[in-house]
Amino acid sequence: MYESANVSEDADRTAFRRAEKKYKLYYEQDSKFSRKKKLPKPVDLSSVLDFNSVSQEFNKTGALPDGVRVSESDSSVFCIVNRPGFYFIPNALSLEEQCKWIKESLTSFPQPPNRTNHNAIYGPVTDLFESAKDNKVLVQEDTNRWKFYDGEEAKQRSCKSVSASVLLRKLRWSTLGLQFDWSKRNYDVSLPHNNIPDGLYQLAKKHAAIAMPVGEEFRPEGAIVNYFGLGDTLGGHLDDMEADWSKPIVSMSLGCKAIFLLGGKSKEDNPHAMYLRSGDVVLMAGEARECFHGVPRIFIDEENADIGALEPELSRESGHFCAEYIKSSRININIRQVF
């Protein structure tokens, strides 16, 4: 599913790799600063497409930037002329919907039988978010079994252990619906799984409609939830393991703002850089499914994260701990029709 960007000397010469390096977070090299106090290197963001601003200007004057058009069936959906099959829906999710799916992404989606990146080491981990909230520690009981304990009780056990808060911060992905086997790079229908939650199913189906072949309905069967923290990136890749590329991937952004790169069918093609904000939805169908794409940067500083309205609403809806997490994180839910 994920084709990592080749970091060899030759790969550094591709247009996509150069764009990744341009926008990636680097720090000023100054011995006066500790790691925590290092200042991010400035980066030129003038060529990053801002569909929020595009939408506002279009609604006001009808003007659009070169290479951008509105969808023929919905003027609130934007397309890039030389990337057919790509659709950008700014502010597609309400604040209430954003809060709901952030909470679900942290509390429900990592729950077994859904698999996460932690399965390989710890096996199925239950109630990770609540355990982190309660300052619990995951302790190895035997070779194949780990269990959460309160801090004091964990100290009394001379076993391998790791705090739940560390595990939560190291959560990188979870899978919903049909489970993806990362070692074999395919969907394994034999693995235990639940169906996509109905609310997410209906939401994805609604937003996918504009990108669907005429007369067909989107059937959400699997999803991957990505979790990003400061400095995390997603290298240039193709989502190529689904059977029918005419069906869109529905990608929902939650939390801190990010830069998204949409390349072409070769990494030699110059990618389009654009902002993804909380509540934005992106669709990739048809030819766009053959385009390399990735996330080289997220912004967690107050000036650029763009979660001013989300944070207090999330705190009211889901509690302070959830709001604190999202202040320095981004969550991306990618829903797919597998077969």
Annotated binding residues for Fe cation: 237, 239, 293
The H or E element that residue 298 is part of is: strand 293-298
Spatial CA neighbour of 305 closest among 276, 280, 283, 285: 276
Relative orientation angle of helices 310-318 and 95-107, to the nearest 10 degrees: 60
Spatial CA neighbour of 337 closest among 284, 267, 270, 294: 284
Task: Please state, in angstroms and rounded to a whole number, the distance separating the CA atoms of residues 162 and 76.
Answer: 46
Q: Write the CB contacts of 70 (distance below 8 Å, at least 6 apart in sequence).
A: 58, 64, 76, 77, 78, 79
Is residue 287 within 8 Å of 81, Cβ to Cβ?
no
Is residue 50 within 8 Å of 304, Cβ to Cβ?
no
Q: Please state whether beta strands 161-163 and 137-142 pair in parallel, antiparallel, or not at all (unpaired).
A: antiparallel
User: Phi-psi region for residue 96, left (φ > 0), alpha (ψ -120 to 50) or beta?
Assistant: alpha
Task: Please state, in angstroms and rounded to a whole number, the distance separating the CA atoms of residues 238 and 243.
Answer: 14
Q: Name residue, tokens 């982190």.
A: 132
Residue ranges at the known binding site: 237, 239, 293
Is residue 299 within 8 Å of 256, Cβ to Cβ?
yes
Is residue 277 within 8 Å of 21, Cβ to Cβ?
no
Q: Which long-range contacts (CB under 8 A, 24 or more apart) does 76-84 make?
A: 77/210, 78/51, 78/54, 80/262, 80/272, 83/262, 83/264, 83/272, 83/287, 83/288, 83/291, 84/286, 84/287, 84/288
Is residue 337 within 8 Å of 242, Cβ to Cβ?
yes
- Under DSSP, the state recorded for 6 is P
